[in-house]
Structure 1
Amino acid sequence: MLDEVDHWLERRSWSAADRPLPRLLAAKRAAGPAGSVSVVLPALNEEATVGDIVAAIRRDLMTEDVPLVDELVVVDSGSTDRTSEVAAAAGAKVVHRDELLPRVPTVPGKGEVLWRSLLATSGEIVCFVDADLRDFDSTFVSGIVGPLLTDPPLAMVKAMYDRAFGDSNVGGGRVTELVARPLLNLYWPQLAGFVQPLGGEYAARRSLLERLSFPVGYGVELGLLIDALHTVGLDALAQVDVGVRRHRNQDGLALGRMAAAIQRTAHARQARGGLVRPVLTQFDRSPEGGFTPHSHPVDTEERPPMRTVPEYTSRRAA
């Protein structure tokens, strides 16, 4: 590990308990408009979990006594279940992906939803939380928002945690360990200190997010982290321990598609040149015997920095 990263770990890694809520609320009041907080949940068919997450945030962080979060938005990316209804009933503002920036046709992918969410929110601090978390604790929000309120030089804060797998508190994060961590250590060793570089729970200043490109698919977290490093430097990045993360674990084929998108995102940032559109071929055993190939396109599109979008700049000016 680089000496720079070793020192960074000492100065920029904390526990959520290091910043109790009274301290955060005082910092938020002192910050004024710059301390406004929007929480975004990107959601696709998450009716089983999204309501509990929304309810916990509203109960713990959006009350008269604890007004830490100003805005809670669920962006539905085309759910076929009752995700939108459940989220709205729990108290979230629900926006459908296709309603945001309608002149730009939507494409499937988490990064697409996160990019468009900047048009649906107004907070100067934007906090992203995955909508499939189980046993959700609101410190996932307060923990990562906290350093941005108390430490103005910081621009992005990632959550770190143990990743549960099945009934165990460890064993998750397979794509992180097999793909993302080796890539970061090889090509971006300044980022080697991040425990969960692909984690979906992170907060950032809008002034940073609107300057970054967003890969439309699974590569969005890696892409944002690498680009944030090059934009604001390592000392403006931090991480906070929030405990254990439980969510719906995906099967090996889905993880393979995720890994391919992450590899592509990393490769694009190494070369910053044109790429052929890659295809990933995977295999299922056929009921008739043998294996059946299935080919999947790997996400290659990226959305431009939001501050280059006229609809966004005019909305911010207004």
Structure 2
Amino acid sequence: MLEEVERWLARRSWSAADRPPGLLAAAKQGTQVSVVLPALNEAATVGRIVSVIRRELMSGPAPLVDELVVIDSGSTDRTGEVAAAAGARVVHRDDILPRLPAVPGKGEVLWRSLLVTSGDIVCFVDADLKDFSADFVSGIVGPLLTEPDVLFVKAMYDRPLGDEPGQGGRVTELVARPLLNLHWPLLAGFVQPLGGEYAVRRSLLERLPFPVGYGVELGLLVDALHTVGLDALGQVDVGVRRHRHQDGQALGRMAAAIYRTAQLRLSRGHLVRPVLTQFERGEGGFEPRTHAVDTEERPPMREIAEYAERRAA
């Protein structure tokens, strides 16, 4: 197992500098790229992120990014206004698939974003990043343009906590990394398994269930492994990631959601949703009644009629 991970690290780990802009422009060949920023009260940072993407990745004769969408999940500050002023298309979470009431959570927003974007490649970027660099997008999109067999690419980076280098990923180191090493050792080579910056081919994303909360990154990674295999996954070094850190109680809630996401995948056939069959006495004797157990994940998007109709059009 260790040898397989080491081989994967050698073949599927890159640096953003490995693919200069000219190479990406030549490789794009009509592939459409969408960037999605899930945002909740990120007025302080979302504008600069949008501005950098617009200036460096959406202008010139060969733009890398074709679509930039900020999904506002109920901000009470000026997040939507700031993002729109910087040049993003802003969509409110509740306006997407209104027949299905939204629930709070990052994964819910990412899942719904598939309905309002059209790119062949969808790139997710957290909206709280400070000192944002275009490498966070171009770096992780690059392998999807140049490596036909790669379907899912995560960013890797240093995560400082204040002045302490490498101490920012507390939930990663205390919860996610032990879980992956013990239960999905093929994923042990991912430096930032919970990082919010990753690019995925739509053809894969629409096949995966989405945990609605903080477990979404671990859930997508594990399910992608079981759907397309390790060799279809990769990671790219984009430098340093600085962002707003959560307090201890918030981290505890994140850790619980991530553990629950892992627990569900250990207790079921990974992509098979669990059900419970009970019995009630009817006129002809005991009659089975089957109920869904896990109701806190969204199904693969390709199962949503509105999405299928939109893609067909």
Cα deviation 1:164-215 (Å, max 9, x = unaligned): 2113332100000000000000000000000000000000000000000000
Residue 132 of structure 2 is aligned with which of 136, 161, 186?
136
Change (3 A) 1:15 1:315: same
Alignment of 1:255 onto 2:259: no
Paired amino acid for 1:167: D
Q: CA deviation at 1:300?
A: 6.3
Could you tell me which residue of structure 2 aligns to residue 16 of structure 1? 16
Contact kept, 8 Å, 1:264 with 1:300, in 2: the verdict is no
Rounded Cα–Cα distance in structure 2 between residues aligned with 1:275 and 1:309? 20
Rounded Cα–Cα distance in structure 1 between residues aligned with 2:83 and 2:244? 18
Alignment of 1:43 onto 2:43: no
Q: Indicate the SS of the match to 2:129.
A: coil
Cα deviation 1:262-318 (Å, max 9, x = unaligned): 000000000027599xxxxxxxxxxxxxxxxxxxxxx96000000000000000000
Rounded Cα–Cα distance in structure 2 between residues aligned with 1:174 and 1:23? 36
Contact kept, 8 Å, 1:60 with 1:66, in 2: the verdict is no
Q: Indicate the SS of the match to 1:165.
A: coil
Structure 2: tracts of 5 or more residues without a match? 277-293
Could you tell me which residue of structure 2 aligns to residue 313 of structure 1? 308
Contact kept, 8 Å, 1:268 with 1:275, in 2: the verdict is no
Could you tell me which residue of structure 2 aligns to residue 90 of structure 1? 86
Compute the TM-score of the two structures, normalised by the length of structure 1.
Answer: 0.90
Rounded Cα–Cα distance in structure 2 between residues aligned with 1:47 and 1:265? 30
Could you tell me which residue of structure 1 aligns to residue 116 of structure 2? 120
Paired amino acid for 1:184: L
Report how many aligned residue pairs link the two structures: 292
Paired amino acid for 1:69: V
Contact kept, 8 Å, 1:61 with 1:68, in 2: the verdict is yes
Q: Indicate the SS of the match to 2:44.
A: coil
Could you tell me which residue of structure 1 aligns to residue 207 of structure 2? 211
Rounded Cα–Cα distance in structure 2 between residues aligned with 1:140 and 1:275? 40
Paired amino acid for 1:11: R
Paired amino acid for 1:309: I
Q: CA RMSD in A?
A: 1.4
Compute the TM-score of the two structures, normalised by the length of structure 2.
Answer: 0.91
Residue 177 of structure 2 is aligned with which of 173, 177, 181?
181
Could you tell me which residue of structure 2 aligns to residue 196 of structure 1? 192
Cα deviation 1:8-36 (Å, max 9, x = unaligned): 0000000000000100000002xx2xx11
Alignment of 1:303 onto 2:304: no
Q: Indicate the SS of the match to 1:53.
A: helix
Rounded Cα–Cα distance in structure 2 between residues aligned with 1:177 and 1:211? 29
Rounded Cα–Cα distance in structure 2 between residues aligned with 1:257 and 1:65? 45
Rounded Cα–Cα distance in structure 2 between residues aligned with 1:168 and 1:59? 32
Matches within 5 A, 1:143-292: 143-272=139-268
Could you tell me which residue of structure 1 aligns to residue 283 of structure 2? none
Rounded Cα–Cα distance in structure 2 between residues aligned with 1:274 and 1:157? 29
Structure 1: tracts of 5 or more residues without a match? 277-298
Q: Indicate the SS of the match to 1:41.
A: strand
Paired amino acid for 1:16: A
Paired amino acid for 1:60: E
Range 255-264 or range 62-71, more displaced: 62-71
Rounded Cα–Cα distance in structure 2 between residues aligned with 1:220 and 1:37? 21
Rounded Cα–Cα distance in structure 1 between residues aligned with 2:129 and 2:275? 34
Rounded Cα–Cα distance in structure 2 between residues aligned with 1:133 and 1:101? 28
Identity, in percent, stands at 77
Contact kept, 8 Å, 1:161 with 1:243, in 2: the verdict is yes
Paired amino acid for 1:103: R
Q: CA deviation at 1:66?
A: 4.2
Q: CA deviation at 1:147?
A: 0.3
Cα deviation 1:41-89 (Å, max 9, x = unaligned): 0000000000000000011000023400000000000000000000000
Paired amino acid for 1:4: E
Q: Indicate the SS of the match to 2:160.
A: strand
Paired amino acid for 2:18: D
Contact kept, 8 Å, 1:75 with 1:95, in 2: the verdict is yes
Paired amino acid for 1:169: P
Could you tell me which residue of structure 2 aligns to residue 63 of structure 1? 59
